Amino acid sequence: MLSPDGIPLNRRYYSQETGRDLDNDQMVRGYETDKGKYVIVTDEELEKLAPEKSRDIDLRLFVDQQTIPPIYFERAYYLTPARDTEKAYRLLATTMEEIKRVGIGTFVMRGKEYLVAITSENGILIAQTLRFADEVRSPEDVGLAKKKKATRAEVTKFEKFMAAHSEKSLSEKELKDVQAERILKLVKAKKSRGKDVVETDVEATGEDNVVDIMDVLKKSLAAAGR
């Protein structure tokens, strides 16, 4: 967010009672137990509860990917082999692909422990973070009606409709972000006309979506694969 003259805007914390801005050392964290009631939790207490820093993925078990409901999948990362681990990487990827299994484990990133599913596709390992069970709402939680049996005629009607609009596979052209393309087109057009263009010294930073597999996998697992 920018001001009209191109100056980046900052968020600020302030007291709703006094209206005064607060410094970092004047703020504490609170967990709401009841409406309007909080339990204070200090940074020191959170540090003691934080998972141990590690670059390992602690694999627990291997399961059939079809048994993991899609709603649990969150974000995907490519895993790449480190130096001198190409053989172990390829062996793990090939074996997982042949037996059609995914590895389930945990890893720590930025002070938080994540649940992860490691899959193999065309010899490439991919880590997909998973939502925890308590993060997924049930159909009852969102007020969905109970399942009702449809008539054969209704099912047949939709089967014909789906058959008429079916393809063998999902094309990449269907995965385009049309809205983002429209916005980018608008930005380029305004830039070319010199309209609403401001300058700022703040540089945007991106996030690398590539993780080193052998920096994160357990050494024991890598050793077993050699």
Reduce the secondary structure of 194-220 to three states and give it as a string: CCCCCCCCCCCCCCCCEEEHHHHECHH
Write out pLDDT tens, residues 65-86: 889 999 999 999 998 887 788 8
Per-residue pLDDT 10s for the chain (226 aa) are: 888 777 888 888 998 889 899 888 888 889 999 888 999 998 888 888 887 776 677 888 999 988 999 999 999 999 888 778 888 889 989 999 999 999 998 888 877 888 999 999 999 999 999 999 989 988 888 888 788 888 999 999 999 999 998 988 888 888 888 888 898 898 888 888 887 777 766 554 445 555 555 555 554 454 445 4
Domains recognised in the chain with CATH numbers? 58-138+207-225 (2.40.290.10)
**Per-residue model confidence (pLDDT) at position 147:** 80
Strand partners, 121: 124
d(CA 116, CA 131): 9
Dihedral Cα 157, 161, 164, 167, nearest 10 deg = -120
d(CA 29, CA 62): 38
**Per-residue model confidence (pLDDT) at position 203:** 55
